Amino acid sequence: MADDKEYFSIGDARTGISPEQALKLGKGFGSRFKHIAVVTDKSYFSPVLADAFIAGAVSAGADIRYGGVVPAPVACSYFFIKCEVVVVVHGVMDRLRNSGISFYGITGVELTDKEVNKRSPRPMPDAFNVGKVVEDNNAIQYYLDRFKTICTRPLGYAVLDCGHNSTSFIAPRALEDSGASIISMETSHGKLLPRGFEVEKKDVLSIAQIIQRSTGAIGILYNGDGTRFALLNEAGDYVSNDFLLCLILMYYEPETVVIPFDAPLCVEFALDEPLNILKKPVERGSKKPTVYRVKNDRIAIIEAMRAHNADFGALLDGTFFFSQNGYCPDAIFGSAIILQLARDRSIRNILSKFRTYHRKSLTVQAKVNKPLRMLSDLKDRLGIRGIEFEELSDDSLRVIYGKKDQCIVTPVDVDEGTWNIYGEAHDAMYLQTMIYSLSDMIESIQ
């Protein structure tokens, strides 16, 4: 960045990175941002990457606040009082033991190369004008104090698994301080390998037996940096991410919601059936939340939340955004919402009310590669047949069959003219009929 030949993109930093590459990134960021915070996970390799990044940034004139082992949402909550960028170093990101670095801008939005390169780099300083490094270990206490003010309702009983990573320093304390009864444990894959971005099936199995021997406890498992979590109900059964999203919607009752195009039909049920436990203000009445649908992509969700002033957004992988906490996904706060719900109602009983849907996806080749024209013709054909539809965006359509079944039509490759049809229906045979009748319509458009 200070020197284009040394540039190493942010996207590459998320899929494996060496100390040499971290040094180059540090120089690039240090030449564009003056105040940078750096935190790490618990992996043995994280300090090596952090030191390399810090060396590069300081040599380019940046001042660094080093916070030690801190989860991403906790770091973003605290350090944006004093810094322009929060850098989270991951010694372990996935089951392949890839390392990486995440970069968060103001309000917790993850940075992109385009945003970083809008800033002009400063000239490299001489030896007397390099930056300085200051240790700042106040992030966790700041988050704990703030957590008490935003999490005021009593919490239930949970078995907590932090995966031997950074959330283990704060999640149990935050939830217990807010009244939860916690059994805390750590599942890791080897002595030196804490959990990465994913919560794997073997992690869930490890705590299911403890829940089954408990009375009324649910299970919560965090990923490595505190941006996602998984849920087990009172019987120790895994709750899918779709249903986890439904539970949060039914309890939290956000007024404006951003969700992916392909959010399943159970989400529609959740939006229509709030639990009314929080007793929202009377002036809201029975009004259904305003819903915006975008790509199942973190940046797309955040951009839509900011554009529409939404108070809640979600991906379909256990990632949830609460605008009151900024736009870095906060799994600790999300788990607190579920614990509030579990204290008042049975998770298992709530989920038993949901219908079972069959699902199917199909990729279709259209004869035209102009999405607006293709969708316009498709809408005409649906109208002739009396089939309801809803425009989700300029190039995406939701086709509604009856009141409970749907197909989502989205482009796969505009140049190639390929489209994806994602369908859900209460009956497997009816689902096949929906999918293939829609496929025939798309393929017949000239």
Q: Where are the domains of the chain?
A: 4-137, 151-351, 358-444
CA 320 vs CA 4, 37, 229, 315: distances in Å: 36, 23, 9, 7
Instruction: Please give the radius of gyration of the chain, using alpha carbons only, rounded to the nearest integer.
Output: 24
Q: List the Cα angle 52/56/59 in 5-degree steps.
A: 135
- CB-based burial, 215-251: b 16+ in 10 Å, e otherwise: eebbbbbbbbbbbbbbbbbbebbbbebbbbbbbbbbb
Predicted confidence at residue 278, as pLDDT, reads 77
Residues 125, 312: Cα–Cα separation, whole Å = 43
State the pLDDT confidence band at 433, using cuts at 50, 70 and 90.
Answer: very high
Largest CA distance in the chain: 75
Reference 67, options 25, 31, 36, 24; nearest CA is 36
Sheet strand arrangement including 388-393: 358-365, 418-425, 405-413, 396-401, 388-393
In tens, the pLDDT along 59-104 reads 999 999 999 999 999 999 999 888 999 999 988 765 556 788 999 9
Q: Which two tokens stand for residue 69?
A: 């082992």
- Our measurement of the distance from residue 118's CA atom to the centroid of its chain's CA atoms, rounded to an integer in Å, reads 26
In tens, the pLDDT along 243-267 reads 999 999 999 999 999 999 888 889 9
Pick the CATH number of 4-137 from 2.40.340.10, 3.40.50.2000, 3.40.190.10, 3.40.120.10: 3.40.120.10
Predicted confidence at residue 200, as pLDDT, reads 75
Contacts of residue 112, Cβ cutoff 8 Å, sequence gap at least 6: 10, 299
Task: Return the CATH architecture of domain 151-351.
Answer: 3-Layer(aba) Sandwich (3.40)
Q: What is the mean pLDDT of residues 288-315?
A: 91
In terms of DSSP H, where are the helices of 282-392? 298-308, 331-344, 347-351, 371-384
Predicted confidence at residue 372, as pLDDT, reads 84
Predicted confidence at residue 261, as pLDDT, reads 85
4-137 and 151-351 agree in CATH topology: yes
State the pLDDT confidence band at 1, using cuts at 50, 70 and 90.
Answer: very low
In tens, the pLDDT along 322-362 reads 999 889 999 999 999 999 999 999 999 999 988 888 889 99
Checking if the pLDDT of 7 tops 60, the result is no
What class is the 358-444 domain? alpha beta
Other CB atoms within 10 Å distance of the CB of residue 16: 14
Residues counted in the chain: 446
Residues 169, 332: Cα–Cα separation, whole Å = 12
